[in-house]
Amino acid sequence: MLWNFFASVKLTIALLLIIAVISIIGTLIPMGSFDIYHSFGFQILILMLGINIVICSMERFSQTLKIISIKTPSTNISRFYNSEAKETITIEEPIEKLKRFIAREVEKGFKNNVTDDTNDKFLIFAEKGRLTRMSVYIIHISILILLLGSLVGSILGFTGYVNIPEGSEVRNIDLNKSGHVYNLGFAVKCDDFDVSFYDSGTPKEYLSKLTILIDNKPVLKQDIVVNKPLRYKGISFYQSSYGLIPPKEALLNFNSKETGMSYKINVKVDEEIDIPEKKGKFKLGGLSHYEEVGEAFFGTYSTEKGKEEVVIPLKFPTFDKMRGGDFFISLLDFNKTYYTGLQVVYDPGVSLVYAGFIIMIIGFFINFFMSHQSLCIEITKIDEKTSSVMVSGIANKNKIGMQNKVKELSLYLKEKNYNE
Amino acid sequence: MNSSMILSITTFIYAFSGIFLVSSWIFKKSLPDTIGKWLIYAGFSGSSLGIILRWLESYKAGIGHAPLSNMYESLIFFAWAVILIYFFINYKYKNQMIGISSSLFAFLAMAYAAMSPNINDRIQPLVPALKSNWLIAHVVTCFLGYAAFSIAFGISLLYLVKLKKELDELIYETVAFGFIFLSIGIITGAVWANSAWGSYWSWDPKETWSLVTWLIYAALLHARVTRGWQGKRIAYLSIIGFIAVLFTYFGVNYLQGLHSYGK
């Protein structure tokens, strides 16, 4: 009962289409709200498809085995008489001459030839590509290997994330799913991070110089960019994001409008300082990203009259001049340190998945570009000088291709000069 | 002569080849068919030359990369791929419908690339994520798949109008052809994603829609081979599959995801 349920190709078609519809729904619901693809129901569907593939393949395999284990090609002539790929021609040559030539011609492209020779009739049966009938099982096995690989990855593997400031090293990463901390068993150091831009302002390359350390001794140094990860002990580190480390202080210039003097002051974040010439107080808030001006320091300028917001973009250090107050504050220098954001992945299922990919491609090529082809040529004596030749072919796939092949072969036989 | 000029002329060549092939089909004359076929050769030469010139122009601009990096370039390549698949399938099956369907799709893709206000035809530098040797393998195989599915869609429409038996077999063969390339396209994409982000599958909308397309065509092939579905049912499934192709190609740009540079 359950066997028959899973042995049905109707179920395959239904499952393929149901999985398609649910996948579509998954792309329409907003990201982050509900992960339909890792839901229990979706995984049950994938499991059912896996079982379906196994049982359908088992059901059909015995039939295929029967076909491919027969020693000689099919000599059932009525199948060839009824084939759509069939041509009958008349050739002005005696049957004896044609026999030898056609037998040799057929041997070139086909194996397993069987001939049936009587006085007025000559029959030849030939075939090739019998083993290509196995291709469908190759494809199904590849899909099972692929599913197994993804299962191995999801059980034994992990994905995590870590930010490393330039010049620092880390031993632990945060795992994505559980949020737990994972100890790598070695240290990863970011020696340097660099981001470069095209003239148009779009990013050109993100580059991190990484070193792997064991017991404080460097064992591997490698630069990584977006498409070139670092791999060590099965764990891969991918360039994923970057950012500026929030600075703790900045060297600012306070420019007085009244006296024209400027005062260099090293200001610490969150520390309120008195502005020279008794013009009020200033508190540096920190560094933030602004939509219009990009990375910028922000702070509060306060006097008895009230408070004013001050923004000092890194790209435009004298931007604050436009505020038009008694003082404008410009940026002279600060300790600019980046951190690199790395995606950390351990997936022991990848080699299985890749094996599945390769086997699948091989299976597809055999399945779609090769077929089990049977050929039958019947030569009948009309008189001493003329013969009638029937060329007929049967293929398990690509029936139009077989028809063309039969047409070409009969045309070749008809136009061939047999006296050469 | 620059690539844009050659590509504009090519667009018109495809339009004329389509007109000649359709009129040959309607009036059952062989001369327009011959002219139409020669125009397809001319169009394919134009497409090839345009793509090569654009490639060279990108090197002259100092940002050299294969012209497969944005919507404009992908449409131009799509037209080229359609004609390439046309040569292959037409060589095997010799059917007039393949030519009609192919030249019209090549024309539509090129005309859309030239006219749509949302499509930028400037040569732009590659963003970091696209700097990979997998770019060419991934895009070429995906687009050969899309091209075959487009031709299969065209033949399916013609089948629903004319109901000719040989067209039915042709739909199946063309879909099978596209299916191999879509599969290799998804596989190369997965390998690339794994080398760039550490995950061969992330359920990003474009990935998911390519899987949806794959599942629909897989259902079609199984229905045909093991359940003996033929004719209209296969034609309808091929049309549904093609809608999924269109959504994979254009629609997902409206959903957020990792493939946003395809806009």
DSSP per-residue letters across A157-217: -EEEEEEEETT-EEEEEEETTT--EEEEEEEEEEEEEEEEE-TTS-EEEEEEEEEEEETTE
Contact A404 B94 (CB under 8 A): yes
Facing B173 at nearest CB: one of A28, A205, A398: A398
More confident residue, A114 or B242: B242
Inspect the interface and report whether the beta carbons of A345 and B256 lie closer than 8 Å.
no
Cα torsion at B183, B188, B190, B191 (round to 10°)?
140
CB contact under 8 A, A227 and B128: yes
Residue A170 confidence class, pLDDT cut points 50, 70, 90? very high
What local confidence, expressed as pLDDT, does residue A32 receive? 66
- Residue A189 is predicted with a pLDDT of 95
Which residue among A10, A226, A398 sits closest to B128, beta carbon to beta carbon?
A226
Is the residue at B187 inside a domain? Answer: yes
Cα distance between residue A177 and residue A137, in whole Å: 36
Q: Are residues B231 and B107 in the same domain?
A: no
Q: How many domains does chain B have?
A: 2
For residue B215, the one-letter residue type is L
Q: Is there a domain that residue B45 lies in? A: yes
Tens-place pLDDT, residues A93-127: 888 888 888 888 888 888 878 888 887 888 999 99
Residue-wise pLDDT for B117-157, tens only, equals 777 778 888 777 787 888 899 999 999 999 999 999 999 99
End-of-domain residue from the set B98, B117, B136:
B117
Residues B132 and B252 in one domain: yes
Pick from B191, B199, B260 the residue to mutate for testing the A interface (most A CBs within 10 Å): B199
By Cβ distance, the residue of B127, B194, B200 closest to A203 is B127
Q: Hey, is the C-beta of B219 within 8 angstroms of any chain A C-beta?
A: yes
Please indicate whether, in this complex, the C-beta atoms of B222 and A404 are within 8 angstroms of each other. no
Point out the residue among A9, A20, A350 whose CB comes nearest to the CB of B215: A20
What's the average model confidence in pLDDT over A239-263?
87
Set of chain B residues whose Cβ sits within 8 Å of the Cβ of A225: 128, 131
Using an 8 Å CB-CB cutoff, list chain B residues near A398.
Answer: 173
How many CA within 13 A on the CB side of residue B150? 31
Interface contact B205-A353, CB threshold 8 A: no
Assess whether pLDDT exceeds 50 at residue B214: yes
Provide the CA A219 distance to its chain's centre, in angstroms.
Answer: 31
Q: How far is the C-alpha of A184 from the C-alpha of A165, rounded, in Å?
A: 17
Residue B190: its chain A contacts at CB < 8 A?
353, 357
Which residues does chain B have within 8 Å of residue A9's beta carbon, measured at their own beta carbons? 222, 226-227
Residues with Cβ within 8 Å of residue B161, at least 6 apart in sequence = none
Dihedral sign, CA of A248, A250, A255, A261?
positive
Which of A146, A227, A240 should be substituted to probe chain B, the one whose Cβ sees the most B Cβ atoms within 10 Å? Answer: A227
pLDDT in tens, A58-94: 988 988 998 888 877 777 888 899 998 999 999 988 8
Task: State residue A419's pLDDT score.
Answer: 76
In Å, how far are A343, A355, B178, B211 from B191, measured between CA atoms? Answer: 17, 12, 20, 15
Q: Does B201 touch chain A (CB under 8 A)?
A: yes
pLDDT (average), residues A199-208 = 83
- pLDDT for residue B256: 57
Q: Mind giving me the DSSP string for A219-253?
A: EEEEEEBTTB-EEETTEEEEEEEEEEPPPSEEEEE
Residues from chain A that touch B222, judged by Cβ atoms under 8 A, are: 9, 12-13, 16
Distance in Å from the first CA to the final CA of chain B? 27
Backbone angles phi, psi at A241, to 5 degrees: -155, 180
C-alpha A288: how far from chain center: 36
Among the candidates B71, B89, B117, a domain finishes at B117
Mean pLDDT of A403-410: 90
When CB atoms are compared, the residue of A24, A347, A401 closest to B92 is A401
Q: Does A392 touch chain B (CB under 8 A)?
A: no
Together in a domain, B143 and B215: yes
Across A174-201, average pLDDT? 88
Size of interface A-B (CB pairs under 8 A): 126
Q: Which residues pair with A272 in a beta bridge?
A: A283
Q: Which residues in chain A are closer than 8 Å to B176, comparing Cβ atoms?
A: 368
Q: Do B139 and B242 fall into the same domain?
A: yes
Which chain A residue has the Cα nearest residue B211? A20
- Does B50 map to a domain? yes
Please judge whether B226 and A9 are an interchain contact, meaning their C-beta atoms are less than 8 angstroms apart.
Answer: yes
- Non-local CB neighbours of A390 within 8 Å, separated by 6+ positions: A80, A86, A87, A88, A376, A377, A378, A380
Separation of alpha carbons B231 and A52, rounded Å: 26
* CA pair distance B5, A2, nearest whole angstrom: 64
Q: In this predicted structure, which of A334-338, A375-379, B162-166 has the lowest mean pLDDT?
A: B162-166
Q: Mean pLDDT in chain B?
A: 88
Q: Domain containing B234: what range? A: 126-258
Tell me whether strands A294-303 and A387-395 are parallel, antiparallel or unpaired: unpaired
Tell me the HSE value of A361 on the side-chain side, using a 13 A CA sphere.
Answer: 14
Give pLDDT, residue B251: 76
Contacts of B215 in chain A (CB under 8 A): 16-17, 19-20, 23
Please give the residue of chain A at the shortest CA–CA distance from B126: A204
Interface test with B, best of A12, A27, A38, A150 (most B CBs within 10 A): A27
pLDDT at B263: 36
Report angle CA A263, A266, A267 to the nearest 5 degrees.
Answer: 110
Which of B168 and A237 is assigned the larger pLDDT? A237
Greater confidence (B48 vs B133) lies with B48
Contact residues, A window 156-175, toward B, CB-based 8 Å cutoff: 159
Distance CA B46, CA A139 (A): 39
Residue B110 and residue B5 share a domain: yes
Per-residue pLDDT, B261:
46
Residue A264 has pLDDT above 50, yes or no: yes
pLDDT at residue B52, as a whole number: 92
Query: Which of A9, A205, A344 comes nearest B222 by C-beta?
Result: A9
Beta strand A387-395 pairing with A85-91: antiparallel
Interacting residues of B169 by C-beta distance below 8 A, sequence separation 6+: A399, A400
| Least confidently predicted of A122-131, A194-203, A353-362 | A194-203
Q: Are A95 and A88 in contact (CB under 8 A)?
A: no
B194 at A interface, C-beta within 8 A: yes
Q: State whether B136 and B248 are in the same domain.
A: yes
- Any CB–CB contact under 8 A between B93 and chain A? yes
Instruction: Give residue B201's identity as a one-letter amino acid code.
Output: W
pLDDT > 60? residue B257: no
Contacts of B227 in chain A (CB under 8 A): 9-10, 13
Tell me, yes or no, whether B263 lies in a domain. no
Q: Which residue has the tokens 């498809």?
A: A49
**What are A378's two structure tokens?**
């019947």
**Does B186 share its domain with B225?**
yes
Q: Please indicate, yes or no, whether residues B64 and B149 belong to a single structural domain of this protein.
A: no
Q: What's the CA gap between B248 and B205, in Å, rounded?
A: 8
Same domain, B160 and B247: yes
Cβ pair A258, A277 in contact under 8 A: yes
Taking residue A242's Cβ as centre, other Cβ atoms within 10 Å add up to: 19
Predicted local distance difference test score (pLDDT) of residue B147: 94
**pTM here?**
0.84
Q: Which two tokens stand for residue A24?
A: 């579509």
Chain A partners of B129 at a C-beta cutoff of 8 Å? 226-227
Instruction: Give the CA-trace dihedral at B36, B41, B47, B50, to 10 degrees.
Output: -120
Q: Which residue, of B69, B87, B117, is where some domain finishes?
A: B117
Interface predicted TM-score of the whole assembly (ipTM), two decimals: 0.88
Using 50, 70 and 90 to split pLDDT, how confident is the model at B262?
Answer: very low
End-to-end CA distance of chain A: 67
DSSP state of A304: T
What integer pLDDT is reported at residue B204 of this predicted model? Answer: 86
B179 touching A (Cβ < 8 Å):
yes
* Chain B touched by A196 (CB under 8 Å): no
Burial (CB count <10 Å: 0-12, 13-18, 19+), residue A73: buried
* Average pLDDT score over residue span A165-187: 91
User: Could you say which residues from 5 to 64 on chain B have a Cβ atom under 8 Å away from some Cβ of chain A?
Assistant: 63
Q: Are B150 and B103 in contact (CB under 8 A)?
A: no
Phi and psi torsions of A348, nearest 5°: -70, -5
Residues B64 and B99 in one domain: yes
Report yes or no: B92 at the A interface, CB cutoff 8 Å: yes
Residues B13 and B74 in one domain: yes
* Contact at CB, A226 and B176, closer than 8 angstroms: no
One domain for residues B85 and B35? yes
Mutate to test the interface with B, among A13, A145, A228, A238 (most CBs of B within 10 A): A13
Confidence class of residue B258 from pLDDT cuts 50, 70 and 90? low
Q: What's the pLDDT tens digit per position in B102-120?
A: 999 999 999 998 888 777 7
Determine the residue type at A225.
V
